Amino acid sequence: MKIICVILFITIIHNLAIGQETILMTYNIRYATESDGVNRWENRKESVIELINFYEPSIFGIQEGKQHQVKYIDEKLSSYSYIGVGRDDGEFGGEYSSIYFDTTIYRLTMASTFWLSETGNVGSMG
């Protein structure tokens, strides 16, 4: 939540200073599971990239992404970079809620991750 507030603050300041339109987008890409049948990731992944390219967001977030999905999006969208970690271990395990940003507009100066739980610096639930 804190990082989202920082990004929104930077976006607002950027718009005031430059007056450039900013497009924000969020996308629940749904994690990859074979039990999705015809809706499995292999059948959807190109459509995800096409939709993002169509809207050309300045910043977009994804939910439910597994590491290989996050990497796929990162590889296919060369003008974007992302921040985010897997929720299970704070590194690669579990689902990501990554935030991507257009590197032709923004540059990352600092990033961190915390959990809203009793062990805020360690991947956890609670």
pLDDT band at 9 (very low <50, low <70, confident <90, very high): low
Is residue 84 within 8 A of residue 96, CB to CB? The reply is yes
pLDDT band at 6 (very low <50, low <70, confident <90, very high): low
Q: What value does the mean pLDDT of the chain take?
A: 86
Q: What is the pLDDT of residues 29-81, one digit of tens each?
A: 998 888 999 999 999 999 999 999 999 999 999 999 999 999 999 999 999 99
Measured CA to CA, the distance from residue 30 to residue 24 in angstroms comes to 19
Measured CA to CA, the distance from residue 108 to residue 3 in angstroms comes to 12
| HSE-CB for 95 with a 13 A CA cutoff | 13
